[in-house]
Structure 1
């Protein structure tokens, strides 16, 4: 069972209050209680954990609170921490596209230079504890987080369980509500698919630019590929059968992301690889797809339905 490390602090002079539960600190400004969790989680999982305390990820509405939160959180970790802000629109520069999960107005921002930066169709917000500055982040990133809940609610203090969306070895992506696993093993397409099917899934299908980027981040090795045969890429489940491209899991082909000049060599290249790492000779293919012949690849991605 998940056992979080919990630190509770106040924006103003700490006042012990039974309103926040045994041993908790009362936040006089706004009558809120705050818990800092050092265990890294995705934005969605962090919000769900806060919900078990009858709260939400913390929202910030002025400079005083922003400075205090960052300085207190820095005592326990250095780096990014989730705030409760999210956008489901690609234009992250428009404050009207942002919302706080607690329903309060998005009426204050403290971005660092160069921010906010687009993350695709959706983005979440992190606070850098060392600088008190904000930056946009992919919502699947794993970060510590801060929960805020009303001082009138006494939480069950706490064993909090992170929701188990996926079996061991798989990563849940909230936008698609599917589980994914990257397996690094030099193998053929058929063996890769058999391995995914043995887990109750199939080779990954991809239906949006966001899902594609998520799988790139999941499977990239941080290398520059020099092998022109594409054997350093990653198998996904797109195959050419019956004169058309099809996903092996039977889902609709409603998104394509071919590299420049692909697909080609259609007399023999009937399988598909995700170019998770840049190619030395064809950088335009990076994060995109290439159709390949019957060769072995360094890795493959499985996709299956979640446990819930």
Structure 2
């Protein structure tokens, strides 16, 4: 059953368009500079080993494992001279009298124990930032800790373009061309594609530049090359996002001119309006409309499966 589930997901990913891996959108999470598939959060709250692991699980991860010297040096450099819990702990296999150290999901292949370490009587491991070495500690000791989190893979449908917006979140965009499209027509078609006519967050210059390049007027002549957005007076954007700070051309929207049309660079219809939103009435039609919808997010395991599928 699980194999069927993964097969369905992989098939969907194989048809996908843009994709982008990033760390979870949580405060204090940093992407590793030695492995782009790993994210870390350094928590200075004192906790026992078990409490620290539970906290990491609540965030979707585990206490950090250290697979090689590069990860060891990176983590030690981040924690300074402090001593942090990492994810190594000691277990006694049922078939052996010898205790062994392991990570939550694998045996330990790389280690950097301090001189005289590990001590047999202590079952949990910490990383000392001053020496970049490991020490065995009583699991009941309270220490700061390092959580390791998987990256998230954002995926857009084929033909859609990805943008990693902070607000309202990673999104997918697609520009459609259809002559004589009214506002209600464009919104209906976007909803049928899983989104809405686009919102535009004017406080983000990078997002506005992205949209400006995406909708630049084509070299061929199109009548009414303005692009429908989701702005509708007095409610604002149809996707419910913040509509403040809009760069309107002259007149603000009103009950007589309730809809917002973005005028792209290169337009021959309204060359002086380029970069602005133009308030228009309900009888106005345009040839293009920009749809926007949230990107679909998958945990890192799906990213690994997608790589495997692509290599076969």
Both proteins in one fold, TM over 0.5: no
TM-score for both structures, normalised by structure 2:
0.42
Bigger radius of gyration among the two: 2
